[in-house]
């Protein structure tokens, strides 16, 4: 399993792996929104938590179809399915690899983008914490969506249609944490719910993803 993680990371980082695309997209969102909304600091401060979360969501979505599609095309997925690694483990490791190359960089650069969007001072800590807790759920939910559509020729658009509704609870609680944090309110409840969704998704969705892959390989 470690070997699979290392291979996936290596594939992402080498030429053509698409590493950094999600990050660049996240950056673009944060630059483009003020250009559309206008430069008033108060307006930007108000919408910053929502924009940053929506940006993170869309950046994650961009690279989801690579999780399984490339391995499906070159036959690796067939071979992995007949290997000693359980398919549930394959799904979990691939979601983890996706988070390490997409989610984690988003968490790391989010304070800088918060600055661009004029996020109020107390919000930074909660922004980083909420993204760190929430983005693993985005990756594992996305892996499930990618598993559902892996056998389809042009599954990308369909996958967005399937995955975005599943992202709603994470988005709501995640943005709520940042909103409340930025306003200096207590964030305990949404933070706990966000963590709960992530924990539940991590525990259960690899099984659903593995089931979907088995069906698609048949």
- Contact residues toward other proteins (CB under 8 A) are 2-4, 7, 10-11, 14-17, 71, 73-76, 78-85, 144, 148-149, 151-152, 155, 158, 161-162, 164-166, 168-169, 172-173, 176, 189-190, 193, 197, 205, 208, 211-212, 215-218
Instruction: Kindly tell me which of 45 and 70 has the beta carbon lying closer to other proteins.
Output: 70
Chain centre to alpha carbon of residue 134: 8
Rounded to a whole number of angstroms, the minimum distance from the CB of residue 109 to other proteins is: 25
- Residue 166 has, within 13 A of its CA and on its CB side, a CA count of 19
Instruction: Kindly tell me which of 21 and 116 has the beta carbon lying closer to other proteins.
Output: 21
Instruction: Kindly tell me which of 48 and 137 has the beta carbon lying closer to other proteins.
Output: 137
Q: Which tokens in the block code for residue 142? A: 């996305």
Instruction: Kindly tell me which of 89 and 120 has the beta carbon lying closer to other proteins.
Output: 89
Instruction: Kindly tell me which of 116 and 193 has the beta carbon lying closer to other proteins.
Output: 193
Rounded to a whole number of angstroms, the minimum distance from the CB of residue 112 to other proteins is: 27
Rounded to a whole number of angstroms, the minimum distance from the CB of residue 81 to other proteins is: 6
Instruction: Give the C-alpha separation, 158 to 216, whole Å.
Output: 15
Instruction: Give the C-alpha separation, 148 to 155, whole Å.
Output: 9
Contact 133, 197 (CB under 8 A): no
Q: Which tokens in the block code for residue 94? A: 């691939």
Instruction: Give the C-alpha separation, 54 to 104, whole Å.
Output: 16
Rounded to a whole number of angstroms, the minimum distance from the CB of residue 61 to other proteins is: 14
Burial class (CB within 10 angstroms; exposed 0-12, middle 13-18, buried 19+) of 178: buried
Rounded to a whole number of angstroms, the minimum distance from the CB of residue 120 to other proteins is: 20
Rounded to a whole number of angstroms, the minimum distance from the CB of residue 179 to other proteins is: 10
Cα dihedral 165, 171, 173, 179, rounded to 10, equals: -150
Instruction: Kindly tell me which of 27 and 93 has the beta carbon lying closer to other proteins.
Output: 93
């Amino acid at each position: 399993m470690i070997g699979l993680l290392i291979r996936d990371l290596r594939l992402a980082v080498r030429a053509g792996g698409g590493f950094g695309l999600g990050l660049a997209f996240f950056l673009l969102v944060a630059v483009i929104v003020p250009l559309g909304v206008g430069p008033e600091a108060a307006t930007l401060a108000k919408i910053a938590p929502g924009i940053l979360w929506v940006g993170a969501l869309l950046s994650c979505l961009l690279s989801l179809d690579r999780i399984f599609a490339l391995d499906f095309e070159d036959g690796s997925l067939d071979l992995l399915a007949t290997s000693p690694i359980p398919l549930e483990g394959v799904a979990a490791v691939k979601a983890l690899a996706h988070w390490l190359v997409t989610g984690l960089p988003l968490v790391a650069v989010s304070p800088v983008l918060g600055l661009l969007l004029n996020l109020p001072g107390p919000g930074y800590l909660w922004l980083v914490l909420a993204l760190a807790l929430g983005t693993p759920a985005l990756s594992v939910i996305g892996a499930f969506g990618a598993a559902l559509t892996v056998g389809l020729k042009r599954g990308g658009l369909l996958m967005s249609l399937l995955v975005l509704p599943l992202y709603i609870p994470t988005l709501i609680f995640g943005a709520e944490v940042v909103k409340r944090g930025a306003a200096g309110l207590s964030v305990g409840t949404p933070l706990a719910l966000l963590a709960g969704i992530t924990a539940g998704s991590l525990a259960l969705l690899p099984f659903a993803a593995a089931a979907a892959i088995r069906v698609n390989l048949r």
